Amino acid sequence: MDKSIEKLILESFIKSMCSVYKNLTNKELIIKGVEKMMNPAFKYSEAVTIVGFSGMIVGRMIVAMPKELCAIVYEALGAEQPSDDDLLLAVGEFGNMVAGNAITRINNHLKDANVRLSPPSSFLGRT
Amino acid sequence: MSKKVLVVDDSLFVRNIVKKVLTESGKFCIVGEAANGKEAVELAEKLEPDIMILDVTMPVMDGLEAAREILKKNSNIKVLLLSALGTEDTLSQAQNIGVKYSLVKPFKPEQLLETLEKILET
Amino acid sequence: MIDELANIAKQVLVSMNIQVSGVRLSKDSLHLVNSPLCVVIGLVNKKGEEKGILGFEFSEAFAKYALSCLMPGYNVDMLSEIGLSALLELANMTCGNMLTRISPDAVTTPPTAVFGKNAKMLLNTAPCYRMIFDTPSSSLVVSLSVT
C-alpha cells in the first residue's frame, strides 16, 4: 500500500477517536504512541468493539477499552447505570461513531475510495 | 524433473494443505511460501518458480495485483489463482491480466493437481 | 433464502469431510453469540445500502471434530496458530460460497476470530437467522444478521 495512503488511514482513525471521545466526554484524549502490531493476536479482558470496512481499502478497526470508559460513553449518550448488556451496546456504538467518522475523512480525501462499514460487533469480558 | 512452486495465501492452513498435496504427488517442489502479495512479488523475482499458486484476497497486496506485477516482470511464470469467492467479476479481472486458471475453495486435492497439469501443458 | 444459504454452507462442510446429519433454522431478535470461539465476518454491498454480519459459532467439541476432519491424523488445538487458521479458512470458504451464489455484489471485511470462555458477544443489533448444522460431535452454528 502507498505510504501516503497508510498515513492517511492512520491519521483518520486517530483524529476520529480523539474527536468522538471529546464530543462525548468533553475531555481530551492523550495519544501515548502508535505501535505496529507484528502479532495479529492480542488478549484483552474488558470491552472490545470490531468494525470491518471494505472498498478501496479493506480492514477492520478494533477498539479495546475498560468497562469504566464504556460506562462513561453510555452515560454521555444520555442514560445512567448501565448493565453489562448496555455496556455492549455502548462500546459498539462508540466504535461505530469512530469508524464512521474515520471512513468519512478517508472517503473525502480519496475520491472513488467508496469505503463502507459493516455493523459493529462488541464483546465484553475475557477475550 | 519436479516443477518449482511458490505457494501464496494468508491462511497458514491453506498453505500447509497445498504444500502437502503437491509434495506428496512427487511432481512438484515447493521453493517458497508467502502470506501476502507483496512478499509474493519479491519471492517470485528471487526464486523464479515455474508456477505460483496465489490466493486472491490477501492483506497488503491482493493476488490479482500481485499476479499483474509478477507477470509484468516474468511472463514465463504460470499462475493459478485461488479464491473463496467465485464471482464473475474476479474471474474476468483474472482473465484481463492474463491469468486463465483459477480454483474456487474448497477444492479436492485431485482438482488442484489436475488444474496444475493443465496449466503446465499450456 | 436462508434455506438456500444453509444448503450451500452444508455443501461446503461436507466437501471438507465434515458429516452433517441435519440442519435446523431459527431466528432471534438480536445477534448474540453463546460460544467460546466465534469467527466474525462483516458484509457490505457495493453501494453500501445493505450491511450485515456473518458469525460462525464454534463450540470446543465442534472445533475439535472439524479440525480432525480438516487435518486428519493431527491432534490440533483450536487455539494453536494452525488450528485457528484452519477454522478461519473454513468460515472464509463457507462465507465465500454463500455470497457468490446469493449476493455477488456483496463484499466481505476480513474475518476475525474471537475467543472468550465467559465473554458476552453481540455481533449485531439486528435480528439474526441461525443455521444449526448437526454433526457427530456437537453442532456448528452459522448466524446471519442484515441491517
The answer to whether residue A127 scores a pLDDT higher than 70 is no
- SS3 of residue B78 by DSSP: strand
The model's pLDDT over B90-101, given as tens digits with 9 standing for 90+, comes to 778 888 888 989
How many domains does chain B divide into?
A: 1
∠ CA A66-A70-A71, nearest 5°, is 115
* Dihedral sign (CA B47, B53, B57, B63): positive
Query: Would you kindly state where each structural domain of chain A is located, as residue ranges?
Result: 3-26+43-124
Is C37's Cβ below 8 Å from some Cβ in A? no
pTM of the model: 0.89
Query: Which A positions 59-118 lie with beta carbon below 8 A of chain C?
Result: 59-60, 62, 84-85, 88-89, 92, 114, 116-118
The helix (H) or strand (E) run that includes residue C16 is: none
Residue A126 has a pLDDT of: 57
Q: Indicate the class that CATH gives domain A3-26+43-124.
A: alpha beta
Provide the shortest C-alpha distance from residue C8 to chain B (in Å).
12
Residue C82 has a pLDDT of: 95
Q: Which residues contact B65 (CB under 8 A, 6 or more apart)?
A: B37
- In the chain, the amino acid numbered B34 is A
Residue B90 has a pLDDT of: 76
The model's pLDDT over B42-51, given as tens digits with 9 standing for 90+, comes to 999 999 999 9
Distance CA B112, CA C49 (A): 37
Give residue B106's domain range: 3-121
Closest CA to B81 of B52, B106, B64, B102: B102
**Tens place of pLDDT per residue across chain C (147 aa):** 899 999 999 999 999 999 999 999 999 999 999 899 999 999 998 776 789 999 999 999 999 999 999 999 999 999 999 999 999 999 999 999 998 877 778 889 999 999 988 889 999 999 999 999 999 989 999 999 998
The model's pLDDT over B57-87, given as tens digits with 9 standing for 90+, comes to 888 888 999 999 999 999 999 999 998 876 6
Query: Is A54's CB within 8 Å of C44's CB?
Result: yes
Query: Would you kindly state where each structural domain of chain C is located, as residue ranges?
Result: 2-16+36-128+142-146
Query: Is A122's CB within 8 Å of C122's CB?
Result: yes
Judging by DSSP bridges, how do beta strands A121-124 and B3-8 pair with one another?
unpaired
Q: CB contacts < 8 Å between A and C, how many? A: 95
Q: Residue B54: which CATH number?
A: 3.40.50.2300
Q: Measured in Å, how far apart are chain A's first and last C-alpha atoms? A: 30
The helix (H) or strand (E) run that includes residue C54 is: strand C51-58
Query: Is C93's CB within 8 Å of B105's CB?
Result: yes
The model's pLDDT over B10-21, given as tens digits with 9 standing for 90+, comes to 999 899 999 999
Q: Would you tell me how many other CB atoms lie within 10 Å of the CB of residue C74?
A: 12
Any idea which architecture C2-16+36-128+142-146 has in CATH? 3-Layer(aba) Sandwich (3.40)
Provide the shortest C-alpha distance from residue B74 to chain A (in Å).
22
Rounded to the nearest 5°, which phi and psi values hold at C118?
Answer: -120, 30
